Structure 1
């Protein structure tokens, strides 16, 4: 590598991650305090999702890097079609050097409907693979000349011929084809929230098998489970919003993808969609749902099995669910939807049962394996 930064000492819980500004936020400055606290609590990595309001991935990543020294930072995720590849490559190289190698760059498929109304091309797996190839060429000092591929036509792209930057690439994946692609080309994969333990185990197998078929070491792809974590000490409204509201919002946006991934009953999804409350609902349930509305969805609409694909109850019960994710084959677990403050008791409980020997040597950078 051409930069002179040294790798960080790391966090004492590198197997755990959290999201910065989890869900909706009108105050991106809150991220600064969240990252500082997550680092003090020992959380291994902070993940940053992008929304087209006040959650720009590059701005948030830079802010997280500026207020921290050891915690891993990941974009999870941005889309390759919303920035020119040279701009994206520059963003990642800047973050890599700014953080001394703590940063992992993450890409996702996004939402076709959103891209339609934005007037940008829908994303395909071939485009993502092509874009990753362009980024890696640029990061390693190679000029990209006369490129004409799925990601676009680019006459000439170059950063710096002296570059030799080892920047991990994460992919967000849920369906079998995206999981296979991640196994072939990515350094790490971030799965989806509300996957059953059986689906998690199956997803891990798909990633590992794809890596092996591609001639890679299956263990070289770091797999992050993503588990909605709702510890009982927070308010009832917060619990409902983070669990019921979050699942309902996913079902509003891409319910069939999640239901099919889990092998759940599609008829139950249709009942959800046909519910009087859900039809014509004016926004996302995790943003504007009331206690009464969310209680109705929990008690009368959503199958209990679907909500159980999470970590709920006491801190000790949530800690056991972390172990369940590792036992199902994940290397690491993102405790999703909770702030660092809310996660503090869960972290204490996890330390009581944490298999330290099994997790020894896990890197802080969320895109690197052992």
Structure 2
């Protein structure tokens, strides 16, 4: 595919995909997925962190050498590594990839961090980590004593002189969105945030950026959307409804999605009262059940939540639905659910829809 084809440049600029979503047994598949994502014209691959076979630094390096154009976003838990290690990894990845790397920080569930013996990922820790990394990338020698520890002399000995990698923060609630606006180059919104939720989120982010004295439009809005184009009904239900339950059943977490979308919170009570969820006693559903095993719970979800929060149906219907998120203020969309090998028809329809919008 060439970028001169109608809609192709916009597809590359505005759409990417996860590689190796969920639990993984063969990480080499992720390299093939990245190559295929670049072949069909997507502009970014996103790598999540799961301790075993999804180490973002290793995978990002492999993807950088297997591809030539596609952007690479690696997710990191800020308190799991010394700040100079994360800064050095990103510095090296920019040099290795030709300025294609982006850092994403995520906030893990505090109980999970505690189980690993790692400090919780608080806003204060994130703010100091980001500040230390940016100073190191500027070539400074950093003397720091604070919540992250005591670091008398931090310096990147061989600093790459290219552009600093953008720092993205994944956020749902108002405080997280405000943090992204004040400290980060972009924010990744959560799956099942509706177009109205995108508008509400973008407003919070950009107001916080302006309050912090930053250019509000320089903070990019990335949106993570579950897509299920042309899937058989049972597979579609697992990809969309089964996966959705793993988000909505979590106390606090599901509530934030519903609040930003202005949806009916009573549905969450029904989900959490279902015998499969109630019997978990606080254990996350995705650690106890497969997506297929949660499809029956997923039938509780109103059709409106699926229509507004995901992209489901034919490839053409999915492409048209995705345009609604761009119209609502998303700068770039992360496609989640379907694998790159199944996205060829969707990317063709996305080029059609983007060209029709004059993009």
TM-score by length of 1: 0.87
Deviations 1:127-175 (A, max 9, x none): 1111001001111111111x12233321221112755442211111111
Change (3 A) 1:137 1:330: same
| Aligned position for 1:320 | 320
| Aligned position for 1:5 | none
Matched residue of 1:277: which SS?
helix
| Aligned position for 2:167 | 169
Mapped to 2, the partners of 1:105 and 1:296 lie a distance apart of 37
Mapped to 1, the partners of 2:316 and 2:338 lie a distance apart of 16
| Aligned position for 2:3 | none
- Please list, as runs of the form range in 1=range in 2, the aligned pairs for 1:77-226 lying within 5 A after superposition: 77-145=75-143, 147-160=144-157, 163-165=160-162, 166-226=164-224
Change (3 A) 1:162 1:20: closer
Change (3 A) 1:67 1:122: same
> Is residue 222–residue 331 contact of structure 1 (8 Å, CA) maintained in 2?
yes
Mapped to 1, the partners of 2:122 and 2:201 lie a distance apart of 20
Is 1:272 aligned to 2:271, yes or no?
Answer: yes
Task: Give, in angstroms, the shift of residue 358 of structure 1.
Answer: 6.0
* Structure 2 runs not aligned, ≥5 long: 1-8
Q: How many residues align?
A: 345
Mapped to 2, the partners of 1:161 and 1:98 lie a distance apart of 13
Task: Give, in angstroms, the shift of residue 326 of structure 1.
Answer: 0.7
Mapped to 1, the partners of 2:145 and 2:356 lie a distance apart of 48
Mapped to 2, the partners of 1:23 and 1:288 lie a distance apart of 13
Matched residue of 2:343: which SS?
helix
Task: Give, in angstroms, the shift of residue 201 of structure 1.
Answer: 0.6
Mapped to 1, the partners of 2:63 and 2:109 lie a distance apart of 26
| Aligned position for 1:296 | 296
> Is residue 10–residue 354 contact of structure 2 (8 Å, CA) maintained in 1?
no
Mapped to 2, the partners of 1:219 and 1:356 lie a distance apart of 25
Task: Give, in angstroms, the shift of residue 11 of structure 1.
Answer: 8.5
Task: Give, in angstroms, the shift of residue 276 of structure 1.
Answer: 1.1
| Aligned position for 1:25 | 24
> Is residue 242–residue 286 contact of structure 1 (8 Å, CA) maintained in 2?
no
Mapped to 2, the partners of 1:290 and 1:202 lie a distance apart of 29
Mapped to 1, the partners of 2:117 and 2:199 lie a distance apart of 37
Task: Give, in angstroms, the shift of residue 283 of structure 1.
Answer: 6.8
